C-alpha cells in the first residue's frame, strides 16, 4: 500500500535511509574505522531495520536488495561524510533533526508494510519500531558499542517510534489510514523525538537498584 504517490514515498524512503546512513558513517569516523567500515556502518544503519522487517514478514528478497536506489544511498552518505566529515559533525544538531524525521517516517511505513503482509496490529507495531530503530541497534553492535537504544543516559528513541506505530495501528483499525493521517502519525513521532531531545526525556530504570551490586556484578553477567 502506498500512502503517498509512489514516487513521493520512494523519495521519502531514500531521504530516511540517507540520514540514517549519515549517522552510521559518522560513528565509523569517531571509531576510527576506514572507508570500508564507514560504508558498512552506513548501509547497516540505513537499511538494517527494513531488512530485518522484510526477513521476518517474508518479503524476500528484501526491498534493500531489489531497489538500486536503496542500495546506493548509503554509498552517497559515505562519500559525503568521507570528504566533509568536520562540516557534517558541526551540523550534528541538524543531523539529529533529520534522524528524527527518519524515525517518524520509518515507524509509519514499517507498520503499514508489516500489516500489509498479514501481521496482526500489535506485531505490526513491533515491526514499525524495528524498522525505525533496528538499523541503529545493528550499527552499534557492529561498532562494538552498547546500543544507545538500551542506555538510560540517552533521550528516548523507542517511545516516539512506538507511539507513531501505535497511532498507525489505531488508524488501520478505524479504517482511516490515508496519506494525511499517516503523515500526521509520522509527524507525531517526529515531534515527540524532538521534544525528547530538547527536554532530555529519559526512560526510567528499574526501581530499587542497588548501585554497589551493579558495579560488583559488572563482570558476572
Q: Which of residues 136-165 bind a copy of itself (CB under 8 A)?
A: 137, 141-147, 149-152, 156-159
| Closer CB to a copy of itself, 93 or 210, in the complex | 210
Q: Which of 1, 8, 36, 116 binds a copy of itself (CB under 8 A)?
A: 36
Rounded Cα distance between 188 and 159, Å, is 11
51 binds a copy of itself (CB under 8 A): yes
Residue 14 Cβ vs a copy of itself, minimum distance, rounded to whole Å: 16
201 binds a copy of itself (CB under 8 A): no
- Tell me which H or E stretch contains 105: helix 92-116
Specify whether the CB–CB gap between 13 and 105 falls below 8 A: yes
192 binds a copy of itself (CB under 8 A): no
57 binds a copy of itself (CB under 8 A): yes
Specify whether the CB–CB gap between 171 and 185 falls below 8 A: yes
Q: Compute the C-alpha angle 20/128/45, nearest 5°.
A: 20
Q: What 3 state SS string does 184-209 have?
A: HHHHHHHHHHHHHHHHCCCCCCCCCC
Rounded Cα distance between 41 and 24, Å, is 5
31 binds a copy of itself (CB under 8 A): yes
Residue 59 Cβ vs a copy of itself, minimum distance, rounded to whole Å: 9
Q: Which of 5, 34, 116, 178 binds a copy of itself (CB under 8 A)?
A: 34
200 binds a copy of itself (CB under 8 A): no
Map the footprint of a copy of itself across residues 107-126, applying CB under 8 A.
117-120, 122-123, 126
Rounded Cα distance between 94 and 21, Å, is 14
What track of x and - describes contact with a copy of itself for positions 64 through 103 (by CB under 8 A)? -xx-x--xx--------xxx-xx--x--------------
Residue 133 Cβ vs a copy of itself, minimum distance, rounded to whole Å: 9
Q: Which of 29, 100, 165, 186 binds a copy of itself (CB under 8 A)?
A: 29
Closest C-alpha to 26, from 112, 91, 102:
91
Rounded Cα distance between 47 and 140, Å, is 14
SS3 21: helix
Q: Which of 17, 21, 28, 188 binds a copy of itself (CB under 8 A)?
A: 28
Cell numbers linked to 164: 507513531
Amino acid at each position: 500500500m502506498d500512502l503517498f504517490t509512489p514516487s513521493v514515498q520512494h523519495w521519502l524512503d531514500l531521504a530516511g535511509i540517507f540520514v540514517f546512513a549519515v549517522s552510521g558513517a559518522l560513528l565509523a569516523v569517531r571509531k576510527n574505522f576506514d572507508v570500508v567500515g564507514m560504508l558498512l556502518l552506513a548501509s547497516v544503519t540505513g537499511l538494517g531495520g527494513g531488512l530485518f522487517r522484510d526477513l521476518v514478514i517474508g518479503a524476500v528478497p528484501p526491498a534493500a536488495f531489489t531497489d538500486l536506489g536503496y542500495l546506493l544511498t548509503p554509498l552517497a552518505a559515505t562519500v559525503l561524510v568521507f570528504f566533509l566529515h568536520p562540516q557534517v559533525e558541526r551540523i550534528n544538531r541538524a543531523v539529529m533533526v533529520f534522524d528524527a524525521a527518519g524515525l517518524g517516517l520509518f515507524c509509519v511505513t514499517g507498520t503499514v508494510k508489516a500489516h500489509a503482509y498479514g501481521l496482526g496490529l500489535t506485531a505490526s507495531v513491533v515491526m514499525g519500531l524495528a524498522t525505525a530503530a533496528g538499523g541503529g541497534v545493528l550499527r552499534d553492535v557492529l561498532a562494538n558499542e552498547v546500543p544507545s537504544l538500551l542506555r538510560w543516559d540517552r533521550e528516548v528513541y523507542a517511545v516516539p517510534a512506538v507511539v507513531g506505530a501505535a497511532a498507525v495501528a489505531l488508524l488501520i483499525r478505524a479504517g482511516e489510514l490515508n496519506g494525511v493521517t499517516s503523515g500526521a502519525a509520522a509527524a507525531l513521532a517526529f515531534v515527540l523525538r524532538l521534544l525528547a531531545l530538547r527536554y532530555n526525556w529519559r526512560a526510567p530504570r528499574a526501581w530499587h537498584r542497588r548501585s554497589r551490586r551493579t558495579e560488583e556484578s559488572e563482570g558476572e553477567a
